[in-house]
Amino acid sequence: MDKVVIVTGGAGGIGSEICRGLAEDGLKVVVADFIEQAAARLAEEIRRGGGEAVALQVDVGEGGSVGQMVRKSLENYQQIDFLINGAGVISRFPVVEMAEEEWDRILRINLKGTFLCSQAAARQMVIQGGGAIINTVSQAGLSYSTWQGPHYHAAKAGVIHLTTVMAMELGPYNIRVNAVAPGFTESPSSVPLLSPPPAREIIVSQIPLGRLGTADDVVQAVLFLASDRAAYITGQTLVVNGGSPGFSRDPRQM
């Protein structure tokens, strides 16, 4: 497959697995991450495995950095067929304790960053005659809780609505825009939520499929939405959560 994909947050836990999965599917991968050394290590790993990849440093919340990411991607591969918006951060503060700076930080990366990267990639896709954008969100954007933080819920809900609006605007240019919303997934960011041990059992007991999600579950959803099998799907949020209804309270306190 002679296609090119940019993955932001590509050196992170799930992001790195998305990069590996796309490379295995034959795509040329731009591993874009704030931590340049981590992106470089992953790109080198992909190349050693026979794939094609380059590493780029990017601050998704800064328009100049995003523009540079797109320009350097084009210098390397001359086209952008897919963008996976995987860059994201989470922190947990109740409303009365949250600093203004923390609210701004979470929305800057999760929501503004998704918009800036999508805008920059879409401009190139319009010139090329099409493409696809996939936003990594969270079940938190569709449900509510008192433990994931109002700023995180607001950001992820915002990305879900942004996904729909961009799909409407970009559809006439043959650009599809969808989102993947994982539920509880084994990843570095989930480790604190799974300790002490009873928390894991409580979470799993309320997931109909009886297990936590894996990075590969998310990867497979991304691969599907990037493939021709999803050629008539746009403006949708694919929830990958094992049927879980979500948790309104912190599982560690249940």
Residue 144: pLDDT above 70? no
Q: Domain range holding 78?
A: 4-242
What is the C-alpha separation between 31 and 16, in angstroms, rounded?
Answer: 8
- Which tokens go with 99? 């600093």
Is position 161 within any domain? Answer: yes
Is position 253 within any domain? Answer: no
Average pLDDT of every residue of the chain: 90
Work out the pLDDT band at 2, boundaries 50, 70, 90.
confident
What is the C-alpha separation between 4 and 53, in angstroms, rounded?
Answer: 9
* More confident call, 128 vs 213: 128
CB neighbours of 219 closer than 8 A, spacing ≥ 6? 14, 17, 18, 20, 21
Is position 18 within any domain? Answer: yes
* More confident call, 10 vs 149: 10
Q: Kindly report the backbone phi and psi dihedral angles of residue 241, in degrees, each rounded to the nearest multiple of 5, phi listed first.
A: -140, 10
Is position 251 within any domain? Answer: no
Of 77, 144, 152, 173, the active-site residue reads 152
Q: What is the pLDDT of residues 38-63, one digit of tens each?
A: 999 999 999 999 999 999 999 999 99
Look at residues 242, 246, 254 and name the one whose alpha carbon lies nearest to residue 198.
254
User: Which pTM does this prediction carry?
Assistant: 0.91
Is position 252 within any domain? Answer: no
**pLDDT for the residue 198:** 67
Q: What is the pLDDT of residues 225-252, one digit of tens each?
A: 999 999 999 999 999 989 887 655 555 5
**pLDDT for the residue 191:** 58
Per 3-state DSSP, the chain is made up of helix, strand and coil in percentages (nearest 5) of 50, 15, 30
The total number of structural domains in the chain stands at 1
Tell me the CATH number at 236: 3.40.50.720
Work out the pLDDT band at 204, boundaries 50, 70, 90.
confident
**pLDDT for the residue 138:** 80
Query: Collapsing DSSP states into helix, strand and coil, what is residue 146?
Result: coil
Q: Provide, rounded to the nearest whole percent, the portion of the chain with pLDDT above 90.
A: 69
Question: Looking at the chain, which runs of residues are DSSP E strands?
Answer: 4-8, 28-33, 52-57, 82-85, 131-136, 175-182, 237-240
232 is known as an active-site residue? no
Work out the pLDDT band at 81, boundaries 50, 70, 90.
very high
CA atoms within 13 A on the CB side of 18: 33
**pLDDT for the residue 31:** 98
**pLDDT for the residue 250:** 54
Is position 51 within any domain? Answer: yes
Stretch 91-105: mean pLDDT, rounded? 87
C-beta separation of 31 from 54 below 8 A? yes
How many Cβ atoms from other residues are within 10 Å of residue 118's Cβ?
Answer: 23
Stretch 195-204: mean pLDDT, rounded? 74
Is position 249 within any domain? Answer: no
**pLDDT for the residue 195:** 63
Is position 247 within any domain? Answer: no
Q: Which helix (H) or strand (E) holds 224?
A: helix 215-226
